[in-house]
Each structure stands twice: as structure tokens, then as C-alpha cells.
Structure 1
Amino acid sequence: MKRVLPAFLLFMGIYQGAGFTVYEALAVALSAYAFQQCISRLGRTIALMECISFVAAVELLLVPAITYRVFPASMPVESTTYFAFMLPAYSAFYAGIHGFSTGKTADSHRRYFQAVATYLRQNQTSGTVLLFIGLAGFTVRTVVPDAPTLVGLLPANCLFVSAFYAWYSQRTYRLIHIGLVVVALLAYTVWSGMFGDLFLWGILAVVFVSPGIPDLLTTRLKSVSVMVAFLLLLLIQSIKGEYRYNTWGQQRTERRGDARLMVELLTDRLANPAKVLNADHAFLSIVRFNQGIMVGSAMAKVPLHESYAQGDVLMSLLYPFIPRFLWPGKPQTGGYENIRRFTTLSQSENTSINLSPLGEGYVNFGFGGVLFAWFYGFLLRSGFQYGLSLAGRIPSVILWLPMLYIGCLTMETDLLSTWGSLANSAVFVALLFWAAKRFGVQL
């Protein structure tokens, strides 16, 4: 109730005083409620599901609502049309991903990290092994960007998992280990011009480190941290376009890193904060997370110009288990086909946009996509709960959940990408545990 009341007061305030429609005000209020839930649970629990639902609220509710007030012409459908589907769809997703709380979550989650700290003190070499596996995968991913996920991305993600191992093992040189991982991540960001990994792994680091230091995290500190994160986001958005313009070609293979340019751009923005802290830039940065444009474009086209897909999306649940060498024509992740088929939006080699799983629910089932939204949330929650149950027997499993869920943190994707990331990572981790045990390494 204490979090419902502020959200209700916000709803009444912007509905009566700011010219928002009922749907738009409700979208902002739901986003505020999701934010309060996330901040409240952060540090007390493994707030992964809360983080996912808050990011979804920002991308599907909050930013579209603001855009409808500030620049409505950029939205493909009317506000009423969009929110008539998205509000119940998001609510169903929220119900699916959170289920029913038992009230004992905080204590049980802390016990997982106490157990893993004890476990890793007895298995000091495992973090180092993961570090070398991660560096090998990281090298492959950098040198051969199109390398299969099994030898590139998945081993590279072990690098970040190794940092969690180092943190909870309390090893003497853990800060050097973690520093090396951070340097590698920053180097990849500069080389690729892609800031997503930096953003997502930063979120996961906070989610999975904070429960180990709950007494240090006050509500004020968490709120200030969110503000700092927002300022960093504005800073990144202010340099991203210019950096890519000078380092990217027309094809993905025509990209190069330029550390000097990156430093120059950052220095310029820090020396001239007005380039970052202004209303126009803030709005453009926020709109970057507007999934309502993609979903709205699909609603404008389906079913008027394109029939509902009638459940094709459910096939995505099977695709990760079929190797590409057995099916050369297996659909690619990235959303190109979804955007081409269901929207009128243009794409290029250097753009990556997608409908979001909730948008896929609409283009497949119409307003029946509300039930699909619940199913998607339930799917994510079920995987999380199963991971926790495994961690009760193998404590280190808790530190692999970031790798499993990094592809599920945002709505800028599709079911094939999120489920594929989750399923492929789970299979890879299971094989890695099995292989390590054969070599006498206890992960």
C-alpha cells in the first residue's frame, strides 16, 4: 500500500494538472510503481525480476507516454489505441514475472550469497579458470565478430562471471581480477562502438553485488545511484552518434575503434555540460528507449495490411535446441524479419530494432497477446526460480544467473533472442560444469 499511494497521487497529479489522458497517466503511474518496487528490493533481494519489469515499464509505458505529450506526431498510432493494448499487456507481464511473494525472499536470497562465499573459499582456482576461458572467448569475439556463439559470445561472458567469482571469493588479488575484466569491457566498447554490454553488465553487477552488502545501501544512496546512472546515460547518448559516425562504415565489418576520439568526446562533454544537460538532448536520449514506436508501427500494419501470425512466435521456443549446422536456414536473431514483415520502419546494416516480446504477442494473437505477455513473464520467472533451486545444491549457480539473463533485461529484442540467449547459455553452462569436473575443477 505504501508504494501504491505515491503512484496513485502521481496519476491524479499528471491527469488533472499536466494534460495527460487517463491511459497516459496510468502508464506513468505504473512505471513509478515498478521503479519503487525495484529500488525497494535492490540490495535486499536478487532484484533481477524487478529490474526487468522496471526496464520494460520505461520502454513500453513511460517513454511512449512522454512522447505522446511532447512529440505525438512521431508515434504511429493514437495514444488510446496503443495503451488499450499495452497497459493490460504490461500488467499481465508484471503478474507473470512476479507471481506471489512469500515474504521470506530477502533472508533466503542473502543465504545464497553467504553460501557461495563459503563455497568459493574452498574453490579458489575456479575464478581464474573462468578468467582465462573468458579472455579466450573475448579474443575470438573481437577478432572474428561473426564467430559462432558457442566459441565467441558464450565463452566471453565467462569473463564477467569470473568477476563475480572473484568478488565473492574474497581472494587477495580480487580487485586486480575485477579491474582486468572492467578494462576488457571498456576496450570492447571502444572497439565496437556498442555500449549495450557496458550498460547491461553494469546493471547486473549492481543487482548481484548489492545483496552481499545490504547494510550499506540506504534508499537515499540507491536513489542517488539511479540519478548518476541517468546522467551517465545522457553522457553516453551525447557521444554515441558522433563516435559511430567517425568509426563505422556502411557494413558491420567496416568498424574500427578510436580510443583518442572517445577520450576527446568525453572530455568535451565534461568540459561543456550544457551539451549534455539540456531539454532537447534529454528528450532525444529518452526517445532512444521508446519501444512504443516499433509496437505502434506494428499495430498500424497488423491486421489491416498484414494478417496476424497466428502463433508463429511460439516456434521460437524450439529454435535454440536445433543446431544451425542441421538447419542452415534457421531464423537469425536481431529482429530484421519481424520489422520487415510487421512494420513499415526502415532498417540498415548498422541498425538493430525489434518489436519486443510483448509486441510479438500482439502481431501473433491481437489482443490475445495479453495472455502471451503473462506467459512470457512466467517463463522468465520460472527459469529464475529453477536457478535458485539449483543454487540450493550448487551454490555457485547463483553467479551464473547474470549470464543467463543478460539477453532478457530489455524489451529491445524478441522471444527468439531472449529465449535463445537463456536456453543456449543454460546448455553452455551445463556443459562447462561437466567438462570442468572432468578436469578436476569445481566450478
Structure 2
Amino acid sequence: MHRDEADLGHLPYLVRKYRVLERRGLSPTAAILLAVAGIAGYLQVCPNEFLVMLVFGTTMVEFVRRMDQGIPLLQITALLAVLQWLVGPSITYFTNVAHGRYFMYVVESYYFQFALPATAAYCIALLMLGSSPRQKLLTQAMDRQHFVRIGFILAAIGVACFYAAGKAPGGLQFALFLASQLRYVGALYFLFSYHRYRYLFAIACCSQLFITSSESGMFHDLIIWLMMIFTYWFAQWKWKVDQKLLCITFAFLFVFVIQAIKQDYREKRMAGMEVTITGEVARLMSNSEPVLEGEILPLATARLNQGWIISAVLANVPFKEPYANGETVIEAIKSSALPRFLAPDKKMAGGQENFRRFTGLPIENGTSMGISPLGEAFANFGIHGGILFMGLFGAFFALFYNFVLLHVVKHPDFLFWVPLIFYQGIKAETELVVVLNQLVKGAVICFGGYWVLRHFVIPYHRPFLGTQAAVLGRPAESDATV
């Protein structure tokens, strides 16, 4: 048995913490590159497309490095931010590819003078202060005896909450919606059990996700949960760099295809037409129109480009709408801390109010469209204050993630609950009120649910997988044949 895969069950807590958590998610070289790109972007002394590619390449390298170490949640968060706040706008600026009103509302230099340093500050704080779990070490300390039972329990709770959420009042509806995601936590328990049908059980847990996405034409949750579950499965083995890059390429193609077909698919569903996802994919593949000349690339770029909303904020604030000076930040903190029955007038999710106010653009009440943390940072504090705020926001997100991982060190299988706390927060287009609401209520559900599960339903017993010799890197007699 390799030293890094030794049993951690009998090590002191501080030693386990040191062994299973990598304290920094960003190399010093990468931090310097991001800082240089941010400063150069603020000063506008280099071509913006070069700086965008530098930031994208740096975050991608950090993501690739940790793909097979454990769930790279902070790296995914940084990468999504770079893609939607920098890469998408860069494509729109330098190719003039736009769809409808999804164009950039300010000149390139003004946008990137804010977006580059603010995104760089966010990524540096997020990755420098955040930790990364070493999944292989954690799985060595897991008692998998009851994983199948836990999987069925969580799946049943998730399905029950899914149907109850549709009939619950607004204040309770979001909590039930979050609890309904427990079926995907159950899928991870199945995936890491030793049951011969573990893959079948895991797929069954996710079946409702496929059905709901195909019926609604909304694929965000499908993409995020599949990505999360895949990272857990992927980190069970070491992979070569070319294999990692191949997986990333397939993931990008998958997302591109979904983005390319989903508008037509959704419109046909709303019109009552018979339509299937596979049929739309086949139609896309058989389309003889070149991607660069047709509507496919503009549609996919529009979905990637969160910058068009941010640029509309930059064009509207403070010229027509004054800076909010922290108003929406304070409101988001209050909304996440207080339940609706104590604060009945708190803001509803969806982003319509902030979108209309800070972009000056119309939006239908039934359309969810947030201005993102980056747009909210500028709307509240302007360029300089917004850059500082994004650094602080990245630090908060990283430290909150570290706090959750400290519980994982004590209870290794709590690693499977982590995505439920953060899966809304990693999206770059969500507003602060949604992010904070997700973190707080997700943490309450996960910590509370895990405590009840492990104290009253299936008590937790720390496994004895080896002797102290195994901790020192030498195989115990019982492990000699492993």
C-alpha cells in the first residue's frame, strides 16, 4: 500500500487534516500570472485577448492538475467565472458574433479594465485561500458497510421532497428543493459502495434529473450535477495529462451541443410539438450550414457570455442609476440569514429586480436572469471598489469551503454532501442573494441531515482498515494481498 493511501482512521485530527487537505489550490507561479494579467488589464497596456487567454490558461492548468486528486470545486468555480466573464465577452468583441440583444454595451477597453482585474482578484483569493481534498486518502477512511442503505434512504427523501416542493409555500419551497437534491448525494454513496449494481443504482438516482431536464428544457442542473458526480468518479484513479484533456474536450463538446439545441428544443416543447433531445442533436449534426456562418455559434456564444449583462450594468451605472453602495450586498446577507416568515418582504429569487434596475433593460417576470457577482460588485462599488469586493468575495467563498472540508476530515463520507452546499454558488451568473442563500440553507440541510443520519439512523463507526504500520506506509498483514 502506498504511503499516501494509508489508513487515516487512528491518526490525530490535526495530522489527518494535514494529510487529506492540500492547503493551497493555486501555485505561486499561477498567482503571479493572474496578478500580472489583472494589473495589465486595469492599465490596458496589453491586448485584451492575450490577457484573457493567459487567465484562462492559468486557471485551466490548475483545474487539470487537481482533476484526479479530488473534487476540484474551487477550480471549477474559477474556471466557470473566467469562461463567462472573460472568454465569452472576448469572443463577442473580437468576432462580432452576437445574437439578438446579447451584445456588448460598452467598448472593449472599458469592460476589460474592470473585468480582468476583478476576475483575477476573485480567482487569486478563491484558489490561494482555499483547500483541495485528497479523495483517495479520504476513501481509505470510509466505512462503506452501509453505503447502499444510506443511498436508498437519501434517494427516498430526495424524491419525497421533490414532489412536496411543488405544493409548499414559497418560504419552505426552496428548502424542500434543496433537500430534493439529496438523491444525487445518494447516487455518490451508491457509486462508492462495493455493491455489484452500484452503477445501476447511481443512474437510477439521477433518472429524475434527466426526465425533468428533458421536460422543462432547462439543463443547468443536469450539467452541474453530472459534472460533480463525474469528478468524484474520475478522482478514483490517476490519469495522464492527455487523458484529462480528452475528457475536458468531450465535456466542452457536450455543453456546446446542449447550448446549441436548447433554445429550439424549449420553443418546440412550449409549442406542444413532439421533440426529443436525441432528435435535436441528430438534426444539429446533419445541418449542412457551417457553424461559423449560421446561428449555432451566436447562440452558443450568447449562452456562454455573461459579459453582455455585466456590460449593460457598466453602461447604465452610474450614468442613469447611481451606485448602490452595498445595498444589495447587505440585502443578500439579511435574506440568507432570515427565513421568509421573519422577513416577508425580502427579495424573491430570479434576478428580475436587479436586472431591470442596474442594466436598464426590460425583462419578463417569468425569466430568470441575474447580473452575477461581478455585475453586482460594479453596481455597488464601481471599478476600484468592485475589484476589492471581488477579492473579498473570493476569500469568503474559499474560507467557507475550508470550513466544510474540516468536517470532511472528521467524517470522510461527508465529502459526498459537499456539492449540495455549493452547487448553485459555483455558477458565475447567479446573484449574491442566490449564492448566500444556497450556502446557508444548503449547509443547514447537509450538516443537520448528516448529523441525524449518523446519530439516529445509521450510527457512524470509524473503520479499522489497517494497523499503525499501514499509517507509516507499510502494509499490514490483512492488507498484504491488496
- Pairwise same-fold verdict (TM > 0.5): yes
Which residue does the alignment assign to 1:126? 150
Match among 262, 282, 290 for residue 267 of structure 1: 282
Higher relative contact order (CA 8 A, sep 6+): 2
Q: 2:335 touches 2:343 (CA, 8 Å); kept in 1?
A: no
Q: Quick one: distance in 2 between partners of 1:223 and 1:196?
A: 23
**Larger Rg over CA atoms:** 2
Q: Quick one: distance in 2 between partners of 1:436 and 1:300?
A: 51
Q: Does 1:290 align with 2:312?
A: no
Q: Does 1:94 align with 2:123?
A: yes
| Letter aligned with residue 112 of structure 1 | L
Bigger proportion of residues as helix: 1
| Letter aligned with residue 197 of structure 2 | Y
Q: Deviation of residue 283 (structure 1)?
A: 3.8
Q: 2:370 touches 2:431 (CA, 8 Å); kept in 1?
A: yes
Q: Deviation of residue 273 (structure 1)?
A: 5.3
Q: Does 1:82 align with 2:99?
A: no
| Matching of residues 168-183 of structure 1 within 5 Å | 168-183=192-207
Q: Taking structure 2 as the reference length, what is the TM-score of the superposition?
A: 0.79
Q: Describe the SS at the equivalent of 2:109.
A: helix
Which residue does the alignment assign to 1:252? none
Q: Please identify runs of 4+ aligned residues in structure 1 that moved more than 6 A.
A: 1-4, 142-147
Which residue does the alignment assign to 2:215? 191
Q: 1:190 touches 1:259 (CA, 8 Å); kept in 2?
A: no
Identical amino acids, percent of aligned pairs: 26
Match among 132, 136, 143 for residue 110 of structure 1: 136
Q: Deviation of residue 294 (structure 1)?
A: 0.9
Q: CA RMSD in A?
A: 2.9
Residues 403 and 243 (structure 1), Cα distance of their counterparts in 2 relative to 1, 3 Å cut: same
Q: Does 1:333 align with 2:333?
A: no
Which residue does the alignment assign to 1:228? 250
Once the two structures are superposed, what CA deviation does each residue of 1:302-358 show, in whole Å capped at 9, x if it has no partner?
Answer: 111111111113321231221112222111122111111101222124432211112
Once the two structures are superposed, what CA deviation does each residue of 1:213-241 show, in whole Å capped at 9, x if it has no partner?
Answer: 2x2x2211221122212222232223211
Q: Taking structure 1 as the reference length, what is the TM-score of the superposition?
A: 0.86
Aligned length: 418
Q: Deviation of residue 28 (structure 1)?
A: 2.3
Q: Quick one: distance in 1 between partners of 2:190 and 2:203?
A: 11
Q: Quick one: distance in 1 between partners of 2:221 and 2:169?
A: 15
Match among 353, 371, 375 for residue 355 of structure 1: 371
Stretch deviating more after TM superposition (179-188 or 240-249)? 240-249
Q: Does 1:31 align with 2:56?
A: yes
| Matching of residues 126-275 of structure 1 within 5 Å | 126-141=150-165, 148-150=172-174, 152-213=176-237, 215=238, 217-248=239-270, 260-270=275-285, 272=286, 274=288
Q: Deviation of residue 72 (structure 1)?
A: 7.9
Which residue does the alignment assign to 2:479? none
Structure 2: segments with no counterpart, 5+ residues:
1-26, 461-482
Residues 349 and 438 (structure 1), Cα distance of their counterparts in 2 relative to 1, 3 Å cut: same
| Letter aligned with residue 111 of structure 1 | L
Q: Quick one: distance in 1 between partners of 2:274 and 2:143?
A: 40
Q: Does 1:404 align with 2:433?
A: no
Q: Quick one: distance in 2 between partners of 1:346 and 1:147?
A: 27
Q: Deviation of residue 278 (structure 1)?
A: 4.7
Which residue does the alignment assign to 2:95? 70
Q: Quick one: distance in 1 between partners of 2:113 and 2:119?
A: 11
Q: 2:130 touches 2:402 (CA, 8 Å); kept in 1?
A: no
| Letter aligned with residue 348 of structure 1 | E
Q: Does 1:387 align with 2:404?
A: yes
